[in-house]
Amino acid sequence: MTSTAALSLGCGDSAQAHKNTNTGGHIAMTIEQRLSNLEAQNATFARANRRLRLTVSGLAVLVGVGFLAGMNAADPDEMTLRKLSIVDAKGTERIVLDATDASGEASLAHFDSVGRRRITTSTASARGACVNYSDKNGKVRIAAGTYGNGYASLILTDKDQKARIRYATMPDGSATITRNDVTVEE
């Protein structure tokens, strides 16, 4: 019991503690020894307190981030928005997914490096669905579409966007091919 008391106070060896058993188990210490022991204990408590504060602060930050992330992501497999723009390294829009049109049309547009629309796919309840391919000047050269009334077409245009070849199926199932020549050389 005496050696345990000596170890817990951090002073003397067991011979010193055994020698002091006649004083009722109390170990005689100088004020300097006692002050040194108290300072060591205070330093230990201060380190433990710092670690505890850092741990609690870290946990509070994690809980806060988790809470905010949970508020913003009701379903982590889903993202809801009306328009999404993807830009290149220069900040030029390259792909735009847009459902903000007041008429109910939704579109996906691909732009070239200078910002010209090159490919557009779109849907609209009254007009059906279409795909347009544009040349480097932004003019539609190929247009394909299906419409609500059963009509479907593929139109090839010249550089001035004049229809030159049209393939179509009519609502009654009939098909047409139209070729519009500008001039015929013989």
Q: pLDDT of the chain along its 186 residues, tens only?
A: 433 333 333 344 444 444 444 445 556 788 988 888 888 888 888 888 888 777 777 777 777 777 666 656 555 677 778 888 888 888 888 988 888 777 778 888 899 989 899 999 888 766 688 899 999 998 999 999 998 888 899 999 999 999 999 999 999 999 999 998 766 555
pLDDT, residue 20, reads 44
Against a cut of 0.75, is the pTM above it?
no
User: How far is it, in rounded angstroms, from Cα 173 to Cα 106?
Assistant: 28
DSSP 8-state class, residue 3? H
pLDDT, residue 136, reads 92
pLDDT, residue 13, reads 42
pLDDT, residue 59, reads 73
pLDDT, residue 57, reads 76
**12 and 27 in contact (C-beta within 8 Å)?**
yes
**172 and 179 in contact (C-beta within 8 Å)?**
no
Radius of gyration of the chain (CA): 41
Angle at 160 between CA 158 and CA 166, to 5 degrees: 40
